[in-house]
Structure 1
Amino acid sequence: MEFVFITLFPEMIQNACSVSILGRAAQEGLISVRCVNPRDYATDRHRSVDDTTCGGGAGMVLKPQTYLAALDRARELVPGALVAAMTPVGEQLQQERVCGLAKSGRDLIFLCGHYEGFDERILMEADLRLSIGDFVLTGGELPALCVMDAVARFIPGVLGKQVSAEEDSFHYSLLEYPQYTRPVEYHGKTVPEVLLSGDHAKIGQWRRKEALRATLRHRPELLRQMQWQKGDGRLFLALKEEKKENSQAEKD
């Protein structure tokens, strides 16, 4: 899968994609990462890419000439790619969207903004507008990298085991269950016995219950869209009873 970043700071992208899992995936040819700098398409001696806001106001707005020229070049590099503009006013990224982007098989072009944002005529060329949360950053590079990282994990071969991507947090609208490794005992805290039992059915049930517990405690709104499985009702009743017992113990 190919990812093209339209960015004023290609070194940010190149550095982030040269290490760890993404770096290895690029070396193995599983992903391709390229950058197009809008400043290369500026025509004035200052190589300017922004201008003052029409109608007045603080800040500078990214000009359509340079960014759309860079977009044309990106489309030449990856014909048929999906164009995603990173902007605070975009759709907030969810795992469902990540899975959809990965399954589409289409390459991705990211429009990374800066300053006060894009001239609206640039955004009109995007297939979708994405945000990673209700906050504002100095530029679109970090959000675009987040999107690429999330999507790349579903490309066969990028992770050691594809099941790792399929079972991670949010895949079933639940947070992930707790994970443990050796040593079994550390500073008085031990790995739950069920995980050492070798009984895969019991381990699966424990993990499901703990995923429900974590979601109920930290992100209860996710439960409204979870995919219910056989036995979830019983697990919920058990969690409710445990909570009741813990509350009573605290009072005592």
Structure 2
Amino acid sequence: MIIETLSTFPSMYDSVMGTSMMRIAQEKGILQFHAHDLRDWTHDRHRTTDDDPYGGGDGLVMKCEPIFEAYEDILPRNPATSGHLPVLRPHTIFLSPAGQPFDDALATELAQEERLLFVCGHYEGIDERAYALADRTISLGDYVLTSGELASMVIIDAVVRKLPGVLGAETGALGESFADGLLEYPQYTRPAVFRGVEVPPVLLSGDHARVARWRRGMSLERTARLRPDLLDGVDLSPADREFLKSLSTEPGV
């Protein structure tokens, strides 16, 4: 997969993309990443990417001209193409509080794309005309961040970890929270007893079927307790429904 970003602060990506899974994905050749500096497409000595908003108001608005010029220049730079191969057009994403809420299903969908380009806003926002380039607009949630770079890092991480080989196994991400609509079950490691608190005995039993049933039950219990809203979107088996029913009849529940 090719992932590119277009922003006024490309150095913000250095740490995140140079460590842990993001670094490993690049070393394995699974991911190609490049952070473009929007200021490279400005034409004044101050390399200006923003201006005062029409109609007045506080703050500055990012200009549309450098964004369009950058997009048109980045498009044929695709590092995966050469010679007479067709240009792989990027699936272009803008980050905005007005966008589609980001979730695990959307991360899975984006992981199927071959090339992603994130256009990251700053200041009070982006000139509305630039959104003509967007294939989709995404929001992390009902809050405002300092910049789109921060939001894009979260999305990139969630997408890249779904690429085959990144986590070291084809099924590496399958048991994580939200992968099947449920929160993940509790995890434990050594020691078996810490300050009087024991690891659940079933996890030490070596019985894989029992462990699988326990994990499914704990995912259901944790989801019902912490995020019951998620259950409406889960394909529950008769056994799952019976288990949830038993939870509701327990004393104190």
Q: Which TM class, normalised by the smaller chain length?
A: over 0.9
Cα distance change of structure 1 residues 230 and 163 upon mapping to structure 2, 3 Å threshold = farther
Q: Distance in 2 between matches of 1:216 and 1:77?
A: 48
TM-score (norm. length: structure 1): 0.93
Q: Distance in 1 between matches of 2:143 and 2:181?
A: 23
Q: Is 1:8–2:17 an aligned residue pair?
A: no
Q: Distance in 1 between matches of 2:11 and 2:45?
A: 22
1:133-148 superposed matches below 5 A: 133-148=141-156
Q: Which amino acid aligns with 1:139?
A: S
| 1:35 CA drift (Å) | 1.5
1:176-195 superposed matches below 5 A: 176-195=184-203
Q: 1:64 is matched with which residue?
A: 64
Q: Percent identity?
A: 39
| 1:194 CA drift (Å) | 0.8
TM-score (norm. length: structure 2): 0.93
Of the three residues 192, 213, 234, the one matched with 1:226 is 234
Q: Distance in 1 between matches of 2:141 and 2:30?
A: 28
| 1:230 CA drift (Å) | 4.1
1:15-164 superposed matches below 5 A: 15-78=15-78, 79-103=88-112, 105-164=113-172
Q: Which amino acid aligns with 1:137?
A: L
**CA offset digits 1:27-73 (Å, max 9, x no partner):** 22110110111111111121110111111111111001111111222
> Is the 1:85–1:130 contact (alpha carbons within 8 Å) kept by the matching residues of 2?
yes
Q: Distance in 2 between matches of 1:231 and 1:112?
A: 45
Unaligned runs of 5+ in 1: 248-252
Q: Distance in 2 between matches of 1:230 and 1:108?
A: 40
Q: Distance in 2 between matches of 1:101 and 1:179?
A: 28
Of the three residues 187, 196, 208, the one matched with 2:204 is 196
- Secondary structure of residue in 1 paired with 2:245: helix
Q: Which amino acid aligns with 1:179?
A: Q
Q: Which has the higher helix share?
A: 1
Q: Distance in 2 between matches of 1:156 and 1:225?
A: 25
Q: Which amino acid aligns with 2:39?
A: R
| 1:89 CA drift (Å) | 0.9
- Secondary structure of residue in 2 paired with 1:46: coil
Q: Distance in 2 between matches of 1:89 and 1:233?
A: 36
> Is the 1:36–1:73 contact (alpha carbons within 8 Å) kept by the matching residues of 2?
no
Q: Is 1:173–2:181 an aligned residue pair?
A: yes
- Secondary structure of residue in 2 paired with 1:57: coil
Of the three residues 240, 243, 246, the one matched with 2:248 is 240
| 1:191 CA drift (Å) | 0.6
Q: Which amino acid aligns with 1:32?
A: Q
> Is the 1:7–1:111 contact (alpha carbons within 8 Å) kept by the matching residues of 2?
yes
- Secondary structure of residue in 2 paired with 1:178: coil
- Secondary structure of residue in 2 paired with 1:124: helix
| 1:229 CA drift (Å) | 2.5
Q: Distance in 2 between matches of 1:35 and 1:205?
A: 44
Unaligned runs of 5+ in 2: 79-87
- Report how many residues are paired: 244
Q: Distance in 1 between matches of 2:165 and 2:2?
A: 15
- Secondary structure of residue in 2 paired with 1:165: coil
Q: Distance in 1 between matches of 2:172 and 2:197?
A: 26
Q: Distance in 2 between matches of 1:27 and 1:74?
A: 23
Q: Which amino acid aligns with 1:85?
A: F
